[in-house]
Amino acid sequence: MNTMHLQRLQPHWDWRAAGNFVCGGAGAGLLAFTALCAPGTMATAVPMVAGLALVALGLTLVWLEIGRPLRALNVFVHLRRSWMSREALAAVVLYALGLGLLAGLPWGGWPIALAALAFLYCQARIVGASIAIPAWREPLTVPLMVLTGLAEGTGLFWLLAAWQQPPLVLAAPLVALVVLRWALWSAWRARLRRHAPALALRALAANAHAIQWVGGVLPLALAALGASGIAGAAASAVLLAAAGAAAAAGGALFKHCLITRAAIQHGISLPRMPVRGVPRSAA
């Protein structure tokens, strides 16, 4: 039996595509957390503006990557079958709701949170729909991407709002999301070991310690110290801001690795080599 395997890194998405998932996912997570957990406070405006800016930055990066930027509006014509089109539509709705809230329109945080979650889900499905790449098509990739965006956004909230010392009870979602992300990341890697190409597994292994320590151990340790309150209110806010920064950095490391390092195509397997002039049954 002749078998040929062609495995290579996908050549189409580079750091700009990774930047879309990093910035857009973190921005959507920040908007969702702010709208749900801190609406109507003085700390709302800065995270809301930052979240909208991050989503815009991510979309700008992916716009710069496409071959014909002037035809970008064509993305809206494939809503029935394209998760990228649905992501763009969710972004439009998210911006309309977010800017309206900042302008003083009387709707609550729930519509913005739902639009942000829809945007985040569409982003994750873009990755999950790539069936040629085992690390992307793994069923746990979609929930891991969504959970990572929420953890990043919650971390960024603490980083941006620490100067106003939000209630320490808001540290609980950060800790919970980091723990859940760590558990799902471990399960995701365990499942990939069964079928992912060796090159993808090596890329993940090379970045695993940085992702786990920066995005898991460090934010949990800092958040535990900050939430304990033993260092005083001001120091607790600084510690939680550092925990949030670490949680966001860990998510960015994971997404960059997933898009630009672990995106190994599974290749082609030929049980029989075709021979010209020989009947198929004999080949």
Over residues 111-123, the pLDDT tens digits come to 999 999 999 999 9
User: Considering the domain boundaries, does residue 89 fall inside one?
Assistant: yes
Q: Is residue 203 part of a domain?
A: yes
Classify residue 4: in a domain, yes or no.
no
Overall residue count recorded for the chain in this entry: 283
pLDDT band at 246 (very low <50, low <70, confident <90, very high): very high
| C-alpha Rg value of the chain to the nearest Å | 21
Asked if the structure places residue 145 within a domain, the reply is yes
Alpha helices in 71-217 (DSSP H): 83-102, 109-128, 134-137, 141-161, 171-192, 198-212
Q: How far is C-alpha 177 from the chain's CA centre?
A: 13
How far apart, in whole angstroms, are the C-alpha atoms of residue 66 and residue 17?
Answer: 10
Handedness of CA 142, 144, 147, 153 (dihedral sign): negative
The yes-or-no verdict on residue 72 having pLDDT over 90 is: no
pLDDT at 67 over 80: no
**118 close to 146: Cβ distance less than 8 angstroms:** no
Q: Which residue has the higher pLDDT, 244 or 233?
A: 244
Q: Is the pLDDT of residue 179 over 90?
A: yes
222-227: average pLDDT:
90
For the segment 75-80, the average pLDDT, to the nearest whole number, is 73
Contact status, residue 23 vs residue 64, Cβ threshold 8 Å: no
Greater confidence (274 vs 186) lies with 186
The answer to whether the beta carbons of residues 256 and 145 sit under 8 Å apart is no
CA 187 vs CA 143, 156, 191: distances in Å: 12, 25, 6
pLDDT at 57 over 90: yes
Phi, psi of 9 (to 5 degrees): -70, 135
- For residue 61, give both structure tokens: 């990066």
Q: In this structure, what token pair is assigned to residue 237?
A: 């806010």
Let me know if residue 267 belongs to a domain.
no
Report yes or no on 272 lying in a domain: no
What is the tally of structural domains in the chain? 1
CATH (domain of 86)? 1.20.1630.10
Contact 148, 32 (CB under 8 A): no
Would you say the C-alpha torsion 137, 143, 149, 152 has a positive or negative sign?
Answer: negative
Q: Which of 223, 230, 254, 253 is nearest to 158 (CA)?
A: 223
Find all residues with CB under 8 Å of 229, minimum gap 6, and list them.
168, 236
Q: Give 106's contacts (C-beta < 8 A, 6+ positions apart).
A: none
Window from 157-166, 176-185, 236-245 with minimum mean pLDDT:
157-166
Q: Say if residues 267 and 247 touch (Cβ distance below 8 Å).
A: no
Task: Determine, yes or no, domain membership for 235.
Answer: yes
- Residue 29 confidence class, pLDDT cut points 50, 70, 90: very high
Residue type, 126: I
| 3-class DSSP assignment, residue 208 | helix
Going by pLDDT thresholds of 50, 70 and 90, the confidence category of residue 103 is confident
**Domain boundaries, position 246:** 15-260
Establish if 84 belongs to a structural domain: yes
